[in-house]
Amino acid sequence: MSDGSALGAFLKHRRTKLDPTSFGYDIGRRRTPGLRREEVAQRANISATWYTWLEQGRGGSPSADVLNRIAKALMLTEVEREHLFLVGLGRPPEIRYRSSDPITPRLQRLLDTLTHSPALVRTATWDIVAWNRAAAVVLTDYGALPPGQRNVLRMMFCDARVRAAQSDWEAAARFVVSAFRIDAARAGADAEVAPLVDELCQSSPEFAAMWRENDVQTHGDGVKHLRHPQLGPLALEYSAFAVDGRPDLSLIVYNPMTPHDQRLVESLLAAKPAVAAE
């Protein structure tokens, strides 16, 4: 349920924060700072009377399309746009998938502080876009792969080395497919994953069969069992975290499950030279 008074107060606050000259409007003799109501309405292509009612808390519940136009007219950030929908419609807006924004240096520094825990960042299409040294040494040297091959599904179904490293490949593959499906849907990336799904359906009958089953499950936390080529059996507990403000990204952190696993990981890290993350 929308809150008319909260919506009106938010709209008025954002309107008065805007500089009219940056939109080509003459400052003239304005009694209040910011844009006029009719100027916002013009930019949003809605009735000035209705916009005035919205600011006064008596315009009813606007449609999602109108809120999107108002958000654009007021130059709202993604966080402000989300708040606009929450107070205007009582729900967040539909997710706008972003696939081109790089990770921030701050996020990479966070990964690098986890010196003994493999950690990586993946997109909603399950492309690995960032990782730390522990991930490169213990899991995969992603920096040695072409960017197009740094995809979890491609590696799981098309890379014999990755397949051999799974203690139970079929169970791991089914989990990857079902978690990938729901991650892509949550991020609003159905259109973006379609080419990858088509590619894998053509190249892997196993993927095609699993995809047709339409199973879904979350990738919150669990245990990953590996047959590591250097360490032998290895168990890693993992936890997945959302990256605030980036519905297209997930942070995955792996921790050795037992003291024995911890010693194995530490020995491998000590024996390998540093591997730079891109």
pLDDT tens digits along 105-143 = 999 999 999 999 999 999 988 999 999 999 999 999 999
End-to-end CA distance of the chain: 45
CA distances from 174 to 35, 129, 208, 210, 252 (A): 54, 23, 11, 7, 18
Q: What CATH number does the domain located at 105-271 have? A: 3.30.450.180
Residue 203 CA to residue 211 CA, distance in Å, equals: 13
d(CA 92, CA 42): 25
More confident residue, 175 or 246: 175
Domain range summary for the chain, segments of one domain joined by + = 4-89, 105-271
Comparing 4-89 with 105-271, is the CATH topology the same? Answer: no
Give this prediction's pTM: 0.71
pLDDT above 60 for 5: yes
- The pLDDT assigned to 77 comes to 86
What percent of the chain stands above pLDDT 90?
Answer: 65
Distances (CA, A) of 34 to 22, 70, 259: 10, 15, 61
Using alpha carbons only, what angle is made at residue 102 by residues 96 and 105, rounded to the nearest 5 degrees?
A: 130
Percent of the chain with pLDDT over 70: 94
d(CA 182, CA 219): 9
Pick the CATH number of 4-89 from 3.40.630.30, 2.60.40.1250, 1.10.260.40, 3.40.50.300: 1.10.260.40
